[in-house]
């Protein structure tokens, strides 16, 4: 039996509005490390998007390297990392040989040549290696571990054009690799892909997530995965979910933190697996701690908003405020001063304003100057100006007329 921890979508360096979240990411990674130690995990799978951008900050890079070294326990525990669509494959692979001695395998491109058989990976050793598949053995393990790693696939990241559609290319890739099996072993796919459930239901990508489909393809069906593998460890979707329960289980670990206010599952987790050569013996979600909660508040007045903000002092807040007009500067200052984690303030008009097409259909030559000002303000802000601003505009207009 081998015990694995499946995690993904760390997005190190990702911000929430003006707020830096590296401290929260560090706490969540410490939670992940605690699970790995407490549960006596044998290896860790990181299924892509370890960074939020191809050019991460120095602080994000430092956190990444520190986390990998701690997770690997100096080479005692293999850590397998593949690139996601947010990651720079070149940057990830630049440190590939550095990681071997520490038990860390970094794979950036889908066509990256895997280390040859006999390569030490910390205390483990790569027993066999063919295109698209490798087998690891470790002195503590009763069986080797067979992995089919697939970093994010795109036209740029492939060294050749696909001769067939992507789903068929993936089927052929895995079929060819699995022909080299010689002994029974727990077998896993680790990939960064956008997949749909067997019934055709596609999970929603995050509102700020880059699409991963190659050439605008639809989400990939789970039928592309070989039935002979025991588990498919996916990255990309931030919501923890099981797309397919068996033959094989196809699972998204979910993201390290909740990253948007549309995230409907704020509690994040990693997946603890127990596998044998016969398949998955158990699968458990382990919670990841360390993040401030995200709250979306909808209020009808400034005073109501101030009361609501006071109820959630230790949460990131997106505030939607229904109003008849833009807020006065004093009210805006009160709201922002009332809460240290106010990420966004959205003003929602109580009465729907004319749409952009309706506004564009208006004839400026038939409108007086105040109507033009109101239309311009509405199209830019979504609400009417507050009475004080309208009065100021009238005074400026009167002054202009008196001078001319």
Based on the number of CB atoms within 10 Å of its own CB, is 141 exposed (0-12), middle (13-18) or buried (19 or more)? middle
Mean of the pLDDT values across residues 337-343? 95
Mean of the pLDDT values across residues 227-256? 95
Q: How many CB atoms lie within 10 A of CB 399?
A: 10
Mean of the pLDDT values across residues 128-157? 94
Mean of the pLDDT values across residues 322-348? 88
Residue 301 has pLDDT above 60, yes or no: yes
pLDDT value, residue 373: 73
Last residue of a domain, one of 263, 288, 313: 288
Bridge pairing between strands 294-299 and 187-192: unpaired
Q: Which of 99-113, 130-144, 367-381 has the lowest mean pLDDT?
A: 367-381
Residues in a beta bridge with 2: 275
Residue 365 has pLDDT above 50, yes or no: yes
Of the chain, the percentage scoring pLDDT greater than 90 comes to: 71
pLDDT-based confidence at residue 159 (cuts at 50, 70, 90)? confident
Residue 96 has pLDDT above 80, yes or no: yes
Q: Which residues contact 56 (CB under 8 A, 6 or more apart)?
A: 12, 13, 64, 91
Residue 359 has pLDDT above 80, yes or no: no
State the total domains in the chain. 2
Last residue of a domain, one of 288, 308, 325: 288
* 258 contacts 275 by C-beta, under 8 angstroms: no
Residue 254 has pLDDT above 70, yes or no: yes
Give the Cα separation of 87 and 108 in Å (integer).
8
202 shares its domain with 137: yes
User: Whose structure tokens read 């002195």?
Assistant: 139
Q: What is the pTM (predicted TM-score) of this model?
A: 0.85
CATH number of 90's domain: 3.60.21.10
Mean of the pLDDT values across residues 109-130? 95
Mean of the pLDDT values across residues 236-254? 95
Residue 279 has pLDDT above 70, yes or no: yes
Last residue of a domain, one of 252, 270, 288: 288
132 shares its domain with 79: yes
Q: Which of 95-99, 144-148, 306-310, 334-338 has the lowest mean pLDDT?
A: 95-99
pLDDT value, residue 362: 54
pLDDT value, residue 149: 97
What distance lies between CA 7 and its chain's CA centroid?
A: 11
Residue 240 has pLDDT above 70, yes or no: yes
267 shares its domain with 361: no
pLDDT-based confidence at residue 391 (cuts at 50, 70, 90)? confident
- The answer to whether the Cα torsion of 206, 211, 216, 220 is positive or negative is negative
282 shares its domain with 300: no
pLDDT-based confidence at residue 392 (cuts at 50, 70, 90)? confident
What is the residue-wise DSSP string for 25-82? HHHHHHHHHHHHHHTT-SEEEE-S--BSSSS--HHHHHHHHHHHHHHHGGGTS-EEEE
Based on the number of CB atoms within 10 Å of its own CB, is 118 exposed (0-12), middle (13-18) or buried (19 or more)? exposed
Give the Cα separation of 222 and 239 in Å (integer).
17
Give the Cα separation of 47 and 231 in Å (integer).
13
328 shares its domain with 274: no
268 shares its domain with 377: no
Q: Which of 76-85, 218-227, 314-323, 346-355 has the lowest mean pLDDT?
A: 346-355
283 shares its domain with 305: no
Q: What is the mean pLDDT of the chain?
A: 89
pLDDT value, residue 285: 97
pLDDT value, residue 217: 59
pLDDT tens column, 170-228: 999 999 999 999 899 999 999 999 999 998 888 887 666 656 554 455 789 999 999 99
Of the chain, the percentage scoring pLDDT greater than 70 comes to: 89
Tokens of 139: 């002195």
- From the list 134, 139, 138, 174, the residue with the least C-alpha distance to 153 is 174
Q: Which residues contact 42 (CB under 8 A, 6 or more apart)?
A: 2, 3, 4, 77, 78, 138, 140, 141, 145
Q: Which of 153-162, 272-281, 283-292, 340-349 has the lowest mean pLDDT?
A: 153-162
Residue 357 has pLDDT above 70, yes or no: no
18 shares its domain with 47: yes
> What values do phi and psi take at 79, rounded to 5?
-125, 120
User: Whose structure tokens read 């068929």?
Assistant: 168
Mean of the pLDDT values across residues 388-399? 74
pLDDT-based confidence at residue 367 (cuts at 50, 70, 90)? low
203 shares its domain with 58: yes
3-state secondary structure of 283: strand
Residues spanned by the domain of 322 = 294-403
pLDDT value, residue 215: 46
282 shares its domain with 371: no
pLDDT-based confidence at residue 262 (cuts at 50, 70, 90)? confident
76 shares its domain with 219: yes
178 shares its domain with 249: yes
pLDDT tens column, 195-211: 999 988 888 876 666 56
């Amino acid at each position: 039996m081998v015990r694995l921890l499946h995690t993904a979508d760390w997005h190190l360096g990702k911000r929430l509005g003006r707020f830096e979240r590296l401290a929260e990411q560090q706490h969540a990674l410490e939670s992940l490390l605690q699970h790995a130690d407490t549960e006596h995990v044998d290896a860790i799978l990181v299924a892509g998007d370890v960074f939020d951008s191809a050019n991460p900050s120095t602080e994000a890079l430092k956190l990444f390297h520190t986390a990998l070294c701690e997770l690997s326990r100096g080479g005692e525990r293999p850590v397998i990392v593949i690139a996601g669509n947010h990651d720079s494959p070149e940057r990830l692979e630049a440190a590939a040989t550095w990681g071997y001695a520490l038990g860390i395998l970094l794979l950036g491109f889908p066509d990256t040549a895997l280390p040859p058989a006999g390569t030490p990976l910390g205390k483990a050793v790569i027993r066999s290696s063919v295109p698209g598949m490798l087998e690891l053995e470790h002195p503590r393990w009763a069986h080797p571990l067979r992995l089919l790693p697939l970093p994010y696939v795109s036209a740029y990241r492939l060294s050749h054009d696909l001769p067939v559609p992507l789903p068929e290319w993936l089927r052929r890739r895995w079929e060819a690799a699995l022909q080299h099996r010689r002994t029974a072993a727990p077998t896993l796919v680790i990939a960064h892909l956008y997949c749909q459930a067997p019934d055709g239901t596609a999970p929603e990508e995050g509102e700020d997530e880059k699409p991963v489909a190659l050439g605008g393809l639809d989400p990939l069906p789970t039928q592309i995965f070989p039935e002979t593998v025991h588990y498919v460890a996916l990255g990309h979707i931030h919501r923890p979910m099981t797309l397919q329960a068996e033959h094989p289980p196809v699972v998204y670990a979910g993201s390290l933190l909740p990253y948007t206010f549309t995230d409907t599952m704020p509690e994040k987790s990693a997946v603890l697996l127990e596998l044998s050569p016969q398949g998955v013996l158990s699968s458990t979600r382990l919670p990841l701690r360390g993040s401030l909660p995200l709250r979306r508040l909808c209020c009808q007045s400034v005073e109501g908003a101030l009361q609501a903000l006071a109820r959630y002092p230790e949460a990131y807040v997106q505030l939607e405020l229904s109003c008849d007009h833009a807020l006065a500067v004093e009210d805006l200052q009160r709201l922002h001063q009332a809460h240290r984690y106010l990420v966004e303030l959205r003003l929602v008009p109580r009465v729907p304003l004319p749409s952009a097409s309706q506004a564009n259909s208006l004839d400026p030559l038939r409108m007086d100057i105040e109507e033009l000002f109101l239309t311009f303000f509405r199209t830019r802000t979504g609400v009417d100006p507050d009475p004080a601003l309208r009065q100021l505009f009238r005074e400026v207009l009167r002054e202009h007329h008196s001078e001319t």
